[in-house]
Structure 1
Amino acid sequence: MIRVLVVDDDALTLELHRSYLARLEGFELAGECTGARAAIEALLAGADRIDLVLLDVTMPDGTGVDVLRHVRARGATVDVIAITGVRDAEVVRGMVALGVAQYLVKPFTFAVFRERLEQYREFRRRADESAGAPTQAEIDAMLGAMHPATPVRLPKGLAPETLAVVSDDVRRNGPASAGEAARRLGMSRVAVRRYLEHLTAEGRVIRSPRYGTGGRPESEYRWNAE
């Protein structure tokens, strides 16, 4: 069983990751932390009880890079999948230098989450089977298991950063109509509706009619927590 520590300062994200992990075979939740300091303490105190960290990159009291620098300096060799909504080249370089080989860019579906975790599980299996000094082919196979076969692409005209903003809004403030979300975000209703419809098609948002407003019922969107 692969024991996973989840680190994120957002309670809804922690809940989502917890529910995702519960749906995967071979993984169990080892603990949760809501900040960088708590993550450092948990990793130093329980390094032998944690196999993998789902590590948020940006937190109010420090970054994922800060966490890794601190625990690596203390000899912790725990595996890490970095979770970020920020595409910053310096951050990525810092995480790579500290041994992070995989990333999950917010927002992501359960399918993407499952793919990354299953790749990691396969990496562990291959590593465990390679007793002694692995051959070049075995090394190549282990590294190949840690990378997705195909990149995740958004439909033309949708930006990952804006998708993350809309996703976060509907998670925190839904159910809501496209117009309500647009007013909160300072965006056009048409643009917000495109993102909400994409999230609906991905299964991350549920669309349903809203009655009682007079005239035609409008659609409202709520986050799918399943």
Structure 2
Amino acid sequence: MNRIELIRNEEKKYHDACYENYKLFVEGSWLHKPVKTVLDVLPQFKKNENMKVLDLGCGVGRNSIPIAEAIKHGNGKVICIDLLDSALSKLKEYSVKYNVEDVIDMEKADIGSYEIKQDEYDFIVAVSTLEHVGSEQIFENVIKQMAAGTKHNGVNCLIVNSEVEEIDLETNERLEALMEVNLSTDIMMSKLTSVYKGWKEVKRVIKPLEFTIIRNEKPILLKTNAITYVVRKC
């Protein structure tokens, strides 16, 4: 098993367990509410009519479902992409529960190889997912596709982790971070600003975060500089 396969296997175990043990929009995990920045973008669209939204790495619908609720009366669509069967299975359940099953289209795919059509989307969301593509080159290619796939006046909302560290809380041992693309914050920002040169910057926040996750029944402290970057195509 190579490094990427190892990381993806561990991430699959973590997310499968999370989706099984925690419910969407119920306190107890990071699934309990959507990302505020994502929802704050929606009022920027004057009319939520015929909106087409792409959610890359949608998970169980933490952001997709609230977006779908906001645009469903305007004949909108949310295209939801994820690699995990567990995510898409739960998303299907939740989309029925929240009466947005007609608004959400799901597709199982690796976002690193997913083809984004040019000038197709009003709003593209990628929350804590771009750092999980297979390489730095693929990371750049995906962002370039996101930019090309956005309509005039469309918005891209990215939240991406940088400088990720993992520490075993039982031994205080520093571990190799299980992140496919783990760049310095400066390099990550340089790549983003290069691709989105000429776009209007709506929001840029770099926030140090740390939280505990469980890997193989062991508590792990995960530390990161989380980059929130929202840009509008001029």
TM more than 0.5: no
The TM-score normalised by the length of structure 2 is 0.37
The TM-score normalised by the length of structure 1 is 0.38
- Structure with the largest fraction of helix: 1
- Structure with the largest fraction of strand: 2
Larger-Rg structure: 1
